[in-house]
Amino acid sequence: MRPLTAGWIAQEVGGELHADPGVTVTSAWNDTRVLKPGALYIAVVGEFFDGHEFVGAATEAGAVLTLASRPVESPHVLVDDVPAAVGRLAKAYLALLRAEGELTVVGITGSNGKTTTKDLLTQLLPDAHAPIKSYNDALGMPLTVLGAESSTRHLILEMGASAPGDLAYLTGIAPLDIAVVLTVGTAHLGGYEGSPEGLAAEKATLLDGLVPGGVAILNADDPRVLAMADRPSLGEDGRRVRLFGVEGDGPALALGAHGFALVRGSASFVLTTPESTAPVTLRLIGAHHATNALAAASVALECGVALDDVAARLAVSGPVSAHRMALTERTDGVRILDDAYNASPESMKAALRALKEVAGEGRAIAVVGEMREMGDRSREAHEEIGLDAVRLRLDLILVVGEGARPVYVSAVREGSWGDEAAFAATIDEARAMLEGALRPGDTVLVKASNGSGLWRLADQLVEESA
């Protein structure tokens, strides 16, 4: 963060200052465990915690100012709503950075692939500032903005949408030079009354957040995303549309993937622009990562990186965020494919197919948990995964947790399986079932929504050795 004074912060957030106005803040965060000296501590009140109770710990960690919604015994700025104040502060701070230097702001949304695309961009644009993990909501995205420096030239932002109006709020804080829409799937349908059309309408509002002369980068392989190219706001103030996708009989592409194939579970293709080509084989596991790679490559090209350099950097780019299709071979010859951070029907099905590719002649074992935020479609969506597992002829599907039980029931009904489908009520039970079942040559996929906690099992499996 560029240094800010307490007086400037109080003015921009509309707060009441209870501190020396000249106190200088050099970072901002809401977790006392990682605060740095000179920090602004964000005292957030959550469902199960109250950040005001940790003001003392924040001060001991080096915080010099607190953003609070009630008086505290340390220098602070008092506001009515802390998350809203963080949004106002981030908006003012970003405007300050834009006024002081060259800055390109990139916003990424989509039902799947936001974090992987962001991670790829940090490797294609080494000077980029991007969120840790998946900080993409009304608090996390502004905190990411506040982490940018005066020297930052590319600010990469994930923008999540759980309910109508989310993206308009986020782009109101951070207007975009480049807006990327990846997919419209069924993740977070619970916030849109189970309607993919409602979700698509929300995703399209990202494009309204483009600055004049901005660029919309859209996935032409997703019909709902492709339809956004006709959005009225894109025809105003010099805004442009750039399409990417796997080359075929569809629309003209600014960046295409020609000769698509899978090599040991990873996508291989030729990056193709109207002017030139460059072959690439990704390190990421799964055919679906071609979409993320093409999106990241499109952004890098817009930012001035040459196509050959884009291809070379993609070829060596791997997983950055934890639990994102990370492949680990244990000393006992068992391979763990850890994709336990998040899950939707689309990403779950893609992961099962990637498992089959990676397993090759070995046994393919899927350990799956609940897909959350599915709304009224939850049961049907989980049942579809069970059907998919049977049709892919997986050697074993182990379903963990009551929320995911329809996967197990569906698999048994479809395949009349015996030992090829199993259910575990808890993570500990699942681990015990796997301990005596795994053998050298097995590939084990662990996949679920983060809130299910199945990532703990993935960590345990990775840490185990023969």
Q: Which domain does 449 fall in, by range?
A: 326-463
Q: Return the amino acid letter for 182.
A: L
Has residue 417 got a pLDDT over 60? no
- Within a domain: 74: yes
Portion of the chain with pLDDT greater than 70, in percent: 97
Domain count, the chain: 3
**pLDDT value for 196:** 79
Q: Return the amino acid letter for 245.
A: G
Examine the domain organization and report whether 283 and 343 are in the same domain. no
- Within a domain: 94: no
- The CATH number of the domain holding residue 277 is 3.40.1190.10
Has residue 376 got a pLDDT over 50? yes
Confidence of residue 465 (pLDDT cuts 50, 70, 90): low
What does the pLDDT average to over 351-372? 94
Examine the domain organization and report whether 63 and 112 are in the same domain. no
**pLDDT value for 133:** 75
Q: Is 241 helix (H, G, I), strand (E, B) or coil?
A: strand
Number of helices (H), then strands (E), belonging to the chain: the values are 15, 22
Last-in-domain residue among 81, 110, 132: 81
- Give the number of other Cβ atoms within 10 Å of residue 139's Cβ: 19
The pTM for the full model equals 0.85
- Within a domain: 388: yes
- Within a domain: 320: no
- Within a domain: 93: no
Q: Return the amino acid letter for 7.
A: G
**pLDDT value for 186:** 66
Examine the domain organization and report whether 293 and 337 are in the same domain. no
Examine the domain organization and report whether 331 and 268 are in the same domain. no
Examine the domain organization and report whether 411 and 350 are in the same domain. yes
Has residue 129 got a pLDDT over 60? yes
Examine the domain organization and report whether 311 and 334 are in the same domain. no
Q: C-alpha 407: how far from its chain's center?
A: 25
- The CATH number of the domain holding residue 69 is 3.40.1390.10
Q: Cβ contacts of residue 220 below 8 Å, gap of 6+?
A: 226, 243, 244, 245, 250, 251, 253
H helices of 75-204, where? 82-100, 114-124, 140-146, 166-173, 196-204
DSSP calls for 224-270 = HHHGGGG-GGGGSTT-EEEEEEE-SSSS--SEEEEEEEEETTEEEEE
For the segment 382-401, what is each residue's pLDDT rounded down to a tens digit? 999 999 999 999 999 999 99
Examine the domain organization and report whether 108 and 218 are in the same domain. yes
Structure tokens that stand for 60 in this block:
């001991």
Stated as kind and residue range, the H or E segment containing 324 is none
First to last CA, the chain: 46
Has residue 380 got a pLDDT over 60? yes
- Within a domain: 182: yes
Q: Return the amino acid letter for 149.
A: E
DSSP structural state of residue 286: S
Last-in-domain residue among 47, 81, 115: 81
Q: Which of 56-65, 307-316, 342-351, 436-445 has the lowest mean pLDDT?
A: 342-351
Last-in-domain residue among 285, 315, 345: 315
Q: Which of 83-97, 198-212, 295-309, 415-429 has the lowest mean pLDDT?
A: 415-429
- The CATH number of the domain holding residue 347 is 3.90.190.20
Structure tokens that stand for 431 in this block:
């681990």
Has residue 374 got a pLDDT over 90? no
**pLDDT value for 241:** 97
Q: Is 435 helix (H, G, I), strand (E, B) or coil?
A: helix
Examine the domain organization and report whether 247 and 333 are in the same domain. no
Confidence of residue 101 (pLDDT cuts 50, 70, 90): confident
Confidence of residue 48 (pLDDT cuts 50, 70, 90): confident
Examine the domain organization and report whether 64 and 107 are in the same domain. no
Examine the domain organization and report whether 370 and 308 are in the same domain. no
Portion of the chain with pLDDT greater than 90, in percent: 82
- Within a domain: 256: yes
Has residue 36 got a pLDDT over 70? yes
**pLDDT value for 466:** 41
Between strands 396-400 and 421-424, the pairing is parallel
What does the pLDDT average to over 340-369? 93
CA distance 306 to 77: 46
Examine the domain organization and report whether 363 and 244 are in the same domain. no
- Within a domain: 59: yes
Examine the domain organization and report whether 201 and 56 are in the same domain. no
Has residue 104 got a pLDDT over 90? yes
